[in-house]
């Protein structure tokens, strides 16, 4: 059986990933590591685990990981993942990197947004951006998969059919996104303090979030040309989920019917995108604890706008669920393995 390691297993994405891999029918979770000297007991991190589990969280040791794994999931913070990913990639493992380190093709853009030079530039072109709905074919043979960010997943899936079918203007797009607090990870800071978040709502990094170049690259790939958009993320007083409300201008003459058909064509066969009927819209509730992206559209022939609502669970389709979906594609497993009941 294929063996999987998770590096950085104590964060939210590592924990979600471990939960999925433990119930996955085709792989074995064989190794969980932490950068802490004395990693906590696994049952503290994953209370769902039964008393019988014997798997232990270990301090990271590259040789041990290599010995125990065929696939290495990297749940380290960006800038800390690149060397580790490169190491296991060169050691012949399949590497699925949940950090941002291999998502951008241009090392200069990386440095500009992440304030850190990229130490493994030579691998940027090797990495495949792991959004199955965009790159399923390339993922099938990729050994270095850059798992997409949470905001980008929700934004790109909301716009892909519109841009690839040339249905909207590529200027003036608005992506208004709203995320639960788990998107910020387990860092204990003033902005994740209960007294700050509870009963509150606010924007942050207004039109300046580091996920913008990642969104831009994917949108421009779909549009085969320049795309100009605004992006404002907001912090919701909930634990998990992202809902993006996206506004665009229809190209002249584009009808509502064409828009709905484009989404149906793009997503009808997708196992993890659910396209809503006319008049229905997604909510966080419907996608929490699932790997689905729910998409709903408001478009009328009487005006020039199209509005797309797109919802995901930021820890699943926006991180660990999508990572497993990528693994399933890469390994030839049914794409839903481990991800549906």
In the complex, the smallest distance separating the C-beta of residue 126 from a copy of itself, rounded to whole angstroms, is 32
**Which residue, 116 or 186, has its beta carbon nearer to a copy of itself?**
186
Residue 113: partners with Cβ closer than 8 Å, 6 or more residues away: 104, 210, 212, 213
- 150 annotated active-site: yes
Which candidate, 174, 186, 180, 153, places its Cα nearest to that of 283? 180
**Dihedral sign of CA atoms 326, 271, 131, 32 in order:** negative
Which candidate, 23, 31, 122, places its Cα nearest to that of 72? 31
Scored b (16 or more CB within 10 A) or e, 301-333 reads: eeeeebbbbbbbbbbbbbbbbbbbbbbbbbeeb
Structure tokens at 292: 């689905």
In the complex, the smallest distance separating the C-beta of residue 207 from a copy of itself, rounded to whole angstroms, is 5
Q: 293-299 and 305-312 as β-strands: parallel, antiparallel, unpaired?
A: antiparallel
**Which residue, 73 or 129, has its beta carbon nearer to a copy of itself?**
73
Structure tokens at 251: 């190209």
From 31, 150, 293, 331, the catalytic residue: 150
In the complex, the smallest distance separating the C-beta of residue 31 from a copy of itself, rounded to whole angstroms, is 17
How far, CA to CA in Å, does 113 sit from each of 6, 80, 122, 250, 300?
26, 15, 19, 31, 38
DSSP state of 38: S
In the complex, the smallest distance separating the C-beta of residue 240 from a copy of itself, rounded to whole angstroms, is 8
End-to-end CA distance of the chain: 21
List the catalytic residues: 150
């Amino acid at each position: 059986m294929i063996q999987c390691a998770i590096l950085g297993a104590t964060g939210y994405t590592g924990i979600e990933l471990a939960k999925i891999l433990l119930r996955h029918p085709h792989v074995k979770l064989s190794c969980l590591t932490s950068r802490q000297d004395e990693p906590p007991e696994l049952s503290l991190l994953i209370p769902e685990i039964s008393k019988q589990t014997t798997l232990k969280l270990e301090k990271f040791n590259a040789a041990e990981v290599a010995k125990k794994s065929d696939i290495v999931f990297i749940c380290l913070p960006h800038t800390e993942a690149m060397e580790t990913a490169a190491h296991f990639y060169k050691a012949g493992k399949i590497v699925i990197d949940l950090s941002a380190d291999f998502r951008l093709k241009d090392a200069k853009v990386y440095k500009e947004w992440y304030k850190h030079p990229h130490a493994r530039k030579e691998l940027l072109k090797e990495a495949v951006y792991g959004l199955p709905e965009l790159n399923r074919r390339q993922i099938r043979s990729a050994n270095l998969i850059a798992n997409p960010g949470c905001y980008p997943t929700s934004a790109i899936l909301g716009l892909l059919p519109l841009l690839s079918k040339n249905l909207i203007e590529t200027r003036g797009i608005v992506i208004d996104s709203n995320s639960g607090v788990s998107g910020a990870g387990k860092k204990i800071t003033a902005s994740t303090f209960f007294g700050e978040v509870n009963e509150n709502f606010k924007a942050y990094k207004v039109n300046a979030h580091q996920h913008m170049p990642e969104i831009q690259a994917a949108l421009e790939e779909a549009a085969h040309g320049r795309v100009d958009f605004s992006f404002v993320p907001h912090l919701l007083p909930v634990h998990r989920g992202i809902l993006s409300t996206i506004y665009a201008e229809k190209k002249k003459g584009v009808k509502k019917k064409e828009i709905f058909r484009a989404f149906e064509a793009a997503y009808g066969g997708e196992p993890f995108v659910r396209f809503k009927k006319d008049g229905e819209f997604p909510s966080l509730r419907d996608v929490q604890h699932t790997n689905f992206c729910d998409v709903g559209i408001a478009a009328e022939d009487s005006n020039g706008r199209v509005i797309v609502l797109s919802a995901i669970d930021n820890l699943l389709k926006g991180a660990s669920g999508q990572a497993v979906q990528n693994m399933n594609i890469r390994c030839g497993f049914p794409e839903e393995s481990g991800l549906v009941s």
